[in-house]
Amino acid sequence: MDAEAAHCKSPGWLLFSLECPACRSSITTMKRRTFLSLAAACSGIPQLGAIEPITRKGQPKLVLGLAAYSFRKSMKWMKGKPVAAPEGWPAWDLFDFIDFCADQGCQGAELTSYFFPPDVDESYLLEIKRHAYLRGVAIAGTAVGNVFTHPEGPKRREQVEYVKTWIRHAAVMGAPHIRIFAGDMQKGSTKEKAEKNFLECYTECLALAAEKGVFLGLENHGGIVAEADALVRLVRAADSKWAGVNLDSGNFKTADPYADLEKIAPYAVNVQLKMMFQKKGAEKKEETDIPRVLDILRKANYQGWFTLEYEEEENPHVEVPKILAALKPLLASV
């Protein structure tokens, strides 16, 4: 790389091609991996390769899953603290949730980390694994609530170790995927610094995830990945075959959420379905066009979990069985 490019002072890695003469002169001929590497050099972001969209043989295949988060108000634990269910609702642990999945004919259970007891250990995780297997339910994955935008220091280290702990937990349970977040930009930071901080945390965790055989799916969950282009750019920059997107159908609050879902679908390693979404500038939410979401996934040749994450205010014990019943024939037709 030219010394001029290596020491480019462009204010951001999205603007480097306009600011740096060396970048401008070579942009038309460089391959995509080289392009991203040069961009990183011009902004101070660690030089990494870039993963390509996931290539899958065969035909699209969507497998029905259910997220424990759908029943968050019924769970006995929330992030290590005991909580009471609303009056008239059953109080559940994750064994009860797995039973519900089995009884509803739902093939996969996403076991959100928030609902495990605070003293969770390997013995408990193995009991979960055993119970799910005996009920004929696959553990589709788990999910954490991390923030990876902190600069180097105790807060960042705490978040990285938190995710690493759950990578180990997922491996014990046989869970193939963990939904992760990026996080909001920290006070006094910039988007470029926040993305750099995120990538440093993400790549460190991906090294362990690769050892354990666990995907880390970055969700389109606002913050520095509120827009599709930023999300794809960061997943590509992680340059790990265990990196990917956790596609959430309801989280883009942009002018055209469906167009944004199309951008991220080729990188999806897990899908979560929300029943509602809200466009940028809209006063109210609107119902998700599920056939349209399925069409986007079909065109991307997605094969994997299609997990319902019910977030509406109505009682999930009443509503979720109806939705699961309606989804089964739709997924069978993909």
Q: Which comes out higher in pLDDT, residue 322 or 16?
A: 322
Among 13-27, 71-85, 313-327, name the one with the lowest average pLDDT: 13-27
* 3-state SS class at 308: strand
Which tokens is 58 given?
């065969």
Q: Which comes out higher in pLDDT, residue 28 or 106?
A: 106
115 — pLDDT class (breaks 50, 70, 90): very high
Q: What's the mean pLDDT when you consider all of the chain?
A: 89
What is the fold, at CATH topology level, of the domain defined by 61-332? TIM Barrel (3.20.20)
Instruction: Give 15-32 pLDDT, tens digit per residue.
Output: 333 344 444 444 333 344
Average the pLDDT over 62-69 and give the result.
99
Rounded Cα distance, 305 and 110, in Å: 10
**Does residue 8 carry a pLDDT above 80?**
no
Rounded Cα distance, 34 and 104, in Å: 49
Instruction: Give 200-220 pLDDT, tens digit per residue.
Output: 999 999 999 999 999 999 999
Rounded Cα distance, 198 and 150, in Å: 8
Average the pLDDT over 235-257 and give the result.
97
Domain regions of the chain by residue span: 3-43, 61-332
DSSP 80: T
Average the pLDDT over 40-52 and give the result.
55
Which tokens is 180 given?
């992760």
Q: What is the pLDDT of residue 14?
A: 35
Q: What is the pLDDT of residue 23?
A: 42
CA 292 to chain centre: 20
Q: What is the pLDDT of residue 51?
A: 80
**Does residue 322 carry a pLDDT above 90?**
yes
Phi first, then psi, for residue 248 (nearest 5°) are -105, 120
Phi first, then psi, for residue 148 (nearest 5°) are -110, 20
Q: What is the pLDDT of residue 155?
A: 98
Average the pLDDT over 61-74 and give the result.
99
Q: What is the pLDDT of residue 85?
A: 96
Q: Which comes out higher in pLDDT, residue 34 or 171?
A: 171
Q: What is the pLDDT of residue 49?
A: 62
Q: What is the pLDDT of residue 37?
A: 40
Beta-strand relationship, 215-219 and 286-287: unpaired
> H or E element: which one contains 257?
helix 257-264
Instruction: Give 130-174 pLDDT, tens digit per residue.
Output: 999 999 999 999 999 999 999 999 999 999 999 999 999 999 999
Q: What is the pLDDT of residue 11?
A: 34
Q: What is the pLDDT of residue 20?
A: 47
